[in-house]
């Protein structure tokens, strides 16, 4: 991705410091109603992405501002910024960003965060556990499902996984509804397997195969 990450964060970088301005409202760059975006999945690598040193604090604050931090990191909503940075640079997972490009191919929007872990990718098995988050302003947007489709196209079409599994807090009903709409098959619940809103919670286990996605997407 040629565009610096600093273009995809709140414009006021100084807001991450302790000041009276820290709680100010932010305006994130979004598409106009009906404007088409090409959603591109890119690996997060701050060492190769210009602007990364200011992008991470912006991401931290954005996820806290819209309440998605505790939903995504539901087992560790009280983690520190240092722990957050370490999690996004771990080498045993693939951290990815969902970026919206305009008609000219310019990166304009950062819509979500993806984490692929428990990866096994060889000649026998190609699998991962997928985790994705879209910022709250995208939940009911005209192209919200296009975000999920772009993610699955990338995981199955570009990365060539055969199966993606999911483990979702049963109490997160919006997430359960979304993965069902995408075509994930719910296998069942594991009782008291995780926590959500700091309470014990069952985990809904789900999966999608490359063949299932091809049938769903008509490919």
Residue 69 located in a structural domain = yes
The pTM (predicted TM-score) of the whole model is 0.83
Give the pLDDT of residue 33.
Answer: 54
- Taking residue 125's Cβ as centre, other Cβ atoms within 10 Å add up to 10
Of the listed ranges 39-53, 92-106, 149-163, the one predicted with least confidence: 39-53
Per-residue pLDDT tens digits for 130-152:
999 999 988 887 778 899 999 99
Residue 47 located in a structural domain = yes
**What total number of domains does the chain contain?**
1
DSSP 136: G
pLDDT band at 37 (very low <50, low <70, confident <90, very high): confident
- Listed in order, strand segments (DSSP E) in 61-146 are 94-101, 107-121, 126-134
Residue 107 located in a structural domain = yes
Residue 219: pLDDT above 70? Answer: no
Question: Based on the number of CB atoms within 10 Å of its own CB, is 157 exposed (0-12), middle (13-18) or buried (19 or more)?
Answer: middle
Residue 116 located in a structural domain = yes
Residue 159: pLDDT above 70? Answer: yes
Its domain, for residue 161, covers: 5-10+31-135+142-217
How would you classify residue 118: left for phi > 0, otherwise alpha for psi between -120 and 50, otherwise beta? Answer: left
Give the pLDDT of residue 152.
Answer: 97
**What is the pLDDT averaged over residues 36-58?**
83
Q: Residue 201's domain is classified under what CATH number?
A: 3.40.630.30
Could you tell me which residue, 136 or 23, shows the higher pLDDT?
136
Could you tell me which residue, 191 or 77, shows the higher pLDDT?
191
pLDDT band at 4 (very low <50, low <70, confident <90, very high): low
């Amino acid at each position: 991705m040629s565009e610096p990450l600093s273009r995809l964060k709140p414009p006021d970088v100084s807001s991450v410091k302790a000041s009276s301005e820290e709680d100010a409202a932010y305006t994130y760059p979004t598409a106009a109603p009906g404007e088409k975006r090409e959603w591109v999945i890119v690996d997060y690598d701050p060492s190769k992405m210009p602007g990364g040193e200011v992008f991470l604090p912006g991401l931290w604050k954005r996820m806290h501002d819209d309440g998605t931090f505790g939903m995504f990191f539901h087992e560790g909503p009280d983690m520190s910024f240092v722990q957050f940075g370490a999690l996004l640079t771990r080498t045993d997972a693939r951290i990815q960003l969902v970026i919206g490009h305009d008609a000219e191919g310019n990166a304009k929007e950062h819509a979500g965060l993806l984490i692929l872990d428990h990866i096994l990718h060889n000649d026998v098995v190609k699998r991962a556990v997928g985790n994705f988050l879209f910022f709250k302003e995208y939940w009911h947007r005209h192209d919200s499902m296009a975000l999920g489709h772009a993610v699955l196209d990338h995981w199955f079409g570009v990365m060539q996984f055969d199966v993606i599994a999911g483990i979702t807090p049963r109490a997160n009903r919006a997430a359960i509804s979304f993965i069902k709409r995408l075509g994930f098959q719910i296998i069942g619940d594991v009782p008291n397997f995780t926590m959500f809103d700091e309470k014990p919670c069952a985990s809904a286990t789900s999966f999608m195969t490359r063949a299932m996605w091809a049938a769903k997407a008509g490919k």
